Each structure stands twice: as C-alpha cells, then as structure tokens.
Amino acid sequence: MIGIISDIHGNYPALCAVLEELECLGVSEIVCLGDVAGYYCHINECCDLLRERQIPTIMGNHDNYLAEHMDCPRSNSANACLAYQRQTISAVNLAWLAALPEHANVAGVSMVHGGWNDPLDEYLVPSEQYFDALPGKYFASGHSHVQIIWRGRDKSYCNPGSVGQPRDGNPLAGFATWDGSNFALHRVAYDIGRMQAAMRQAGFTDYFSENLSHGTQIGGRISAY
C-alpha cells in the first residue's frame, strides 16, 4: 500500500501528522503530488522533511511559481506568501523544487499535480470522456484541495485532497492510500494553532491562517467539485 499526499503549502504541522498517520497505516511508500510551496511559512521545514524521507515529489503550480520567480495570476494572498518564501527558502531547497518532474507513474498509477492537459494548473473534473482519451487505468492528481474518488467503466481517479489547506469545509488534513487496485481517502487532525502562531510570528495577519480552522480557502470560500 502506498500513501498519496498533495498540496502541503508550507504547513509543517499538518505534514508531520499525515506522515505519522501513514506510518501507522503501514504504507510501503509515499508519493507527493506537488505544491510543497505557497500559503504558509514552513517552506524549508516541509522541503527538508520530504527530502530526508526521500519522498518522490511532483512539481505543483506553486512550486513552479517559487522556483521560476513568478506570481500566481489569481491570488494576491498567494503572492504575499510566495514573496515571504522567496526570502526564506534555502538554496538547496529552491534547487530541489526547480528540479521536480511534472509527471510520475508509481505502482501503476499515472500522477500529475493538476491534470493531464496541463500538469501544473488544470482544475480537473473527472469524466468518461476525459479519461477515455488517456492511456492507463489508474490516475491521481491534486490541485483542487478537495478529496474525490471517481470510478468510470474501466478507469479510476483519485484526488487525495490537501495536507496543508483543505477547502471542503473540513479542517482535518487530507490524504489517500492506494492498495494496488483501490483508492481510499483519509483525514487526520493536526495542531492548527501551531501553524497559525507560526504565521503570526512570520508577520502575517490572522487573515492568512484563520481559514485553517474552518477548512476553507483564505478568505473563507469552500470549494467543491
């Protein structure tokens, strides 16, 4: 069984809780579908932990923004956090992010961050027509921060949700597992107050982290497929 995580977004307490829960579940491997960067202030802690654990990681859109010194085209809040991370990320972690691949195939599952038309920034809505056009049988991607398992005629897709910023109205950190034939979705509690305190210490107002208590985007909006 493997663990599938995504959209950590600099939230180290959530990442630690998810990795601990995956160990309890007895997974043999963990794969990250990207967006280690963005939104919260623990960029080095998250990169260091993934690198130390040798967790295969795919590039997400926020990782690309940070590595390529680009802004997010649709979020001033994201850009404020990216600006902070550009000032604090270590050279080795920035180089690691810049070298991340956009695709992976692990245990028979095709994986990207966004979608197969745009690996970095596609908000994928699964359908028979979409997956009929792709080779393979099993698929996983992140980016939307909303958990889903979709099953078609002969294909299956999983979005594990977000480790660091759930947006479905549930503040628990999200992740998934894959046993070779079926996906399963999981949630786990973490110390949200620790992350919020770290953001205040880094100079951010509560606007940037109060959403973590409610499982929403910054600003309070709930996302859904």
Domain locations in the chain as residue ranges: 2-213
Whether the pTM exceeds 0.85: the reply is: yes
pLDDT in tens, the chain (225 residues): 999 999 999 999 999 999 999 999 999 999 999 999 999 999 999 999 999 999 999 999 999 999 999 999 988 999 999 999 999 999 999 999 999 999 999 999 999 999 999 999 999 999 999 999 999 999 999 999 999 999 999 999 999 999 999 999 999 999 999 999 999 999 999 999 999 999 999 999 999 999 999 999 999 999 886
Looking at domain 2-213, its CATH architecture is: 4-Layer Sandwich (3.60)
CB 111 within 8 A of CB 141: yes
* Sequence-distant (≥ 6) Cβ neighbours of residue 78 within 8 angstroms: 38, 39, 62, 65, 72, 218
CA–CA gap between residue 29 and residue 123 (Å, rounded):
26
